[in-house]
Each structure stands twice: as structure tokens, then as C-alpha cells.
Amino acid sequence: MQPYNKHTSIAASMNRANVDTDQIIPKQFLKKVERTGFGQHLFHDWRFTDDAGQIDNPEFELNNPNFKGAKILVAGDNFGCGSSREHAPWAIEDYGFNTIISTSFADIFYNNCFKNGILPIVASPADSDALMAEIDGNEGVEFTVDLENQVVTTPGGLSISFDLDPVRKSNLALGLDDIGQSMQHVDRISEYEEKHKSLFPWLWSNA
């Protein structure tokens, strides 16, 4: 998992409420266990007009050429609802987004974002509307996300603070997922294993 750094990036908007995980990554693409390769299928049923994913839908927001390379997505309310598939944040991260701003998230999706290097920011309805209005008025506009100071700033003068659990904030900044957090204590784990082997050698026997 890559460390999350302060960055300035194009912001894309998707003013749709209740975007569920089956729209984020449809079920027919859940055939792999690797985390990579799902970005090409992100929002498949909306992005494309054919089943093969070869023909772009010009009406879909993210096909707007002004949003190319965006790392920040400003979305509608209740983003990530539906099934608990972790493939959803995998697809979002693989596509290139590392920040999602919404007025609310489904709990499981919200938790899974942190495990995959994505910062989910909860904004008030007024702040969300203001961000979307600035994007609509200047497509391709770049916002700055400052994780350390927990603030999003825009060229239009918006400065939006957000709350964040300090442990999750630290893990994002360091690029630590659950396994990475465990590996921070590898010396103590090894020490415990050696002690356990000496006390219960038969449990460690290959016989």
C-alpha cells in the first residue's frame, strides 16, 4: 500500500446518491483474488455501452476528458452501499482515485477504503454542494488534500476540514494495511514464536 501524501489533483464529480458496490465493480468481474486489474471494470455498466467494455458512454461523468487523471472523486450521498465486496475499493484504487468525498458512506465500504490506501472524507451537504459547484463551473479544476492538517482546499477559496480517526490517519500516511501493521511488530512476533517453540516443541514438529 502506498503512503498517502498531501497532493493536488484534478477532482471529478459524480452527483449520484446510493452508488452501490455492484455498480462500482459488477459481479461478473469478481473472478480474481489479486487486487490489481479491476480498474478497467470500474463502473462498467455506466462507463460503457457494450458488454465487452470497448465503447465509452459519452454521457457518463468519468468519461469526461476533463476528468482524466483525477485522483479525487466527489460523489453523492451513501456511497459504497450494497454488498461488502472489497473488490470495490480495489477497483477504485486501481483506476487511480485515492480520495472520495461524500456526505456519507456505507460502513463496510468506508472501513475497506482505509485498508486499500483510499481516504474517504465525510463532508457536510453544503460543503459537498460547494465542491461540486466548483467542479461544474471549472471542469478539470484541481483540489488539494492535506491529510496531516485534515483539510481540502480549492482554487475557488473553499477550505473544508474533515474528521479522521488518528490511528487510521497514521496508517494511511505510512502506507500500512492490516498486514503492514502486524509487520511493525515482527520482532515481538518472532520472540513469541521462539519462546513457544521451546515450551511446546511437539507443536512445531514436522513429524
In angstroms, the CA 23 to CA 115 distance is: 20
pTM: 0.87
Cell reading at 83: 454488498
Give tens-digit pLDDT for 173-206: 988 666 656 656 667 777 787 777 887 788 787 7
The partner residues of 99 in beta bridges, in order of sequence, read 72, 119
Q: Residues 46, 89: one domain?
A: yes
HSE-up (13 A, CA, CB side) for residue 104: 8
Question: Can you say whether the dihedral through the CA atoms of 22, 23, 29, 35 is positive or negative?
Answer: negative
Q: Residues 91, 148: one domain?
A: yes
91 found inside a domain: yes
Number of domains in the chain: 2
Q: Residues 186, 127: one domain?
A: no
1 found inside a domain: no
Q: Residues 165, 185: one domain?
A: no
Q: What is the pLDDT of residue 183?
A: 59
Q: How many percent of the chain have pLDDT more than 90?
A: 76
What is the CATH number for 35? Answer: 3.20.19.10
29 found inside a domain: yes
Which of 113, 74, 82, 91 has the alpha carbon at shortest distance from 38? 91
Buried b (16+ CB within 10 A) or exposed e, 189-198: eeeeeeeeee
In angstroms, the CA 112 to CA 118 distance is: 9
Q: Residues 165, 186: one domain?
A: no
Is it the case that residue 207 has pLDDT exceeding 60?
no
2 found inside a domain: no
Give tens-digit pLDDT for 15-50: 999 999 999 999 999 887 788 899 999 999 999 999
Q: Which domain holds residue 72?
A: 7-176
Q: Residues 63, 131: one domain?
A: yes
